[in-house]
Structure 1
Amino acid sequence: MLLQIGKVVSFMLSLLSLHALMLNAFFIPGTSLQERLTQSLGSLALAGCMCFASGLLFCMPVSPHTKGEAAHQVNLPHLMETLPVRLFFWAIGLMVVLLLLSWYLEAYYVPLMWRNQPH
């Protein structure tokens, strides 16, 4: 019972750390791409630690509830196959794509928009 509550709490903490990473990577107004990247490295480390710690909890077997019940072998997932770790890698991949897209748009399309403004 306590392990299952720990899994839920650790999963929620990993979601919150990924949310903080996204906020640091995209929603700091008035900063350049290099400043946003350096500021989000700490959040990236925190999110990675939280997701991998949650993944370790997801790898732990759940003990049977009654003493007479036989402990049958359950195929436990590998650490890289758990939901928090997969979510971490998917989120990092998506954020890298979005950062590259924002850099491209900032470098090539934003100057064109400012040049065509009425005076």
Structure 2
Amino acid sequence: MGFAVKLISRQAKIEDCPPLVNDPKYSDKLTKLRDLLAPLTSATETLVQIDSDKCIGCGNCIVACPENIILDPPSARGCNSKSPNALWTVEDGKIKVLHLEKCRRYPPSRMNCNVCEIVCYSGAIKVVA
């Protein structure tokens, strides 16, 4: 159970368990585990995925993000973030993360915030864990 928690929290990798990787009798389970963990491994440190193909650049995430409002108060009025300290901005019609480390979900605190996902009506933002 402890290893599973470490896998999900990205403190361990599948390769850290040699029997799972090296023993042929676990090959089916290894494949299933890799498929199961694929969203986690493709997400940023905050476990947030942004699908730029789905992003319409509406900026709802910028306006709703509590940290972004603290870093760039004019963004609370619906203005695109112009501050170099902002967490998010819209660039070329797509959301762009400027300072991922300022996100509430960034380790080690990893606060359970998903405001950006809730307000993303195009489904471009997903919190995977």
Q: Which TM-score applies when normalising by structure 2?
A: 0.28
Higher strand share: 2
Larger CA Rg, structure 1 vs 2: 1
